[in-house]
Amino acid sequence: MNCILLPCDNFSADTAYIDDAAQITHVTQVLAAAAGDRLKIGQLGGQLGTGQIASMHSDKIELCDVQLSCAPPKKLDLTVVLALPRPKVLRRLIMDMTALGVRHIVLINSYRTQKSYWQSPMLDRLDEFVLEGLQQGVDTIVPRITLAKRFKPFVEDELAGLITCRAIVAHPYSAQSFAQYVQPSSLALPSLVCIGSEGGWIDYEIDLLAKQGCTAVTIGPRILRTEAAVNVILGQWLL
């Protein structure tokens, strides 16, 4: 938690309060902060800044002299279409994509996505994972999240409308490499990236994505965990 994000309702003039249990634990136990200390805070959907601890109680921390003068970092001009992963890794993937600044996340069904994943209670906790990601990445703007439980209708009817620039689908068996695709470097990075889950995409899915304008590119012979692949690929937008 590299900043503490508070909803708009928790602010009033130049004061604010923290009443979320996880945030209070972070302030008291990880930061070991005391009255008088300044905390890095942000307003969800708004600006970043600091606030000084006025008083601390077990269920509420009052802040005074709140200054919110910094704009959050720019979002990446990027939509990630991700095959719904195992519930166990969903939290970290949503956190990482949010911390990296992805504007729009589409969780999509795929042939190799187990049906049970769509029933996971983790899917009800996406807002919580997004908040964790924003507080990790020091951002205030939530990404848009779309659940696409049916692959074909989403790809055929909605995908093309989301592609504002170029689009790629990560596929270990493509002949074209990511490096070749983005050369010469004067070309813009793609604005939409499709990433499969464990086992990747089947040929039918690659074909359907290609028909909608997604070029298949490989990141090399080494096969990475979904989490690692997402960070490796999205790192290109950061560096």
Binding residues for its own copies, rule: CB under 8 A, are 2, 73, 92, 95-96, 99-101, 136-139, 177-179, 185, 219-225, 227-228, 231-236, 238-239
Residue whose C-alpha is closest to residue 189's, from 123, 236, 135, 126: 236
Distance between CA atoms of residues 216 and 210, nearest Å: 7
Q: How far is the CB of 91 from its own copies (least distance, A)?
A: 11
Least distance (Å) from its own copies to the CB of residue 177?
8
* Closest distance to its own copies from the beta carbon of 7 (Å): 21
- Check if the beta carbon of residue 163 is closer than 8 Å to that of residue 178: no
Asked whether 4 and 31 are in contact (CB, 8 A), the reply is no
Buried b (16+ CB within 10 A) or exposed e, 69-93: eeebeeebbbbbbbbbbbbebbbbb
The residue (of 23 and 212) whose beta carbon lies closer to its own copies is: 23
Minimum CB distance to its own copies smaller for 104 or for 155: 104
- Of 62 and 172, nearer to its own copies (C-beta) is 172
Interacting residues of 154 by C-beta distance below 8 A, sequence separation 6+: 106, 108, 148
> 143: burial class by Cβ within 10 Å (0-12, 13-18, 19+)?
buried
CB of 9 to its own copies, least distance (A): 26
CB of residue 2 vs its own copies: minimum separation in angstroms?
A: 5
Helix/strand/coil for 54:
strand
Q: What is the DSSP letter of 55?
A: E
Q: Token pair 């200054």 is at which residue?
A: 67
| Residue closer to its own copies (CB basis): 202 or 223 | 223
| Residue closer to its own copies, measured from CB, 31 or 162 | 31
Nearer to its own copies, 87 or 148 (CB): 87
Q: How far is the CB of 15 from its own copies (least distance, A)?
A: 27
CA distance 106 to 238: 20
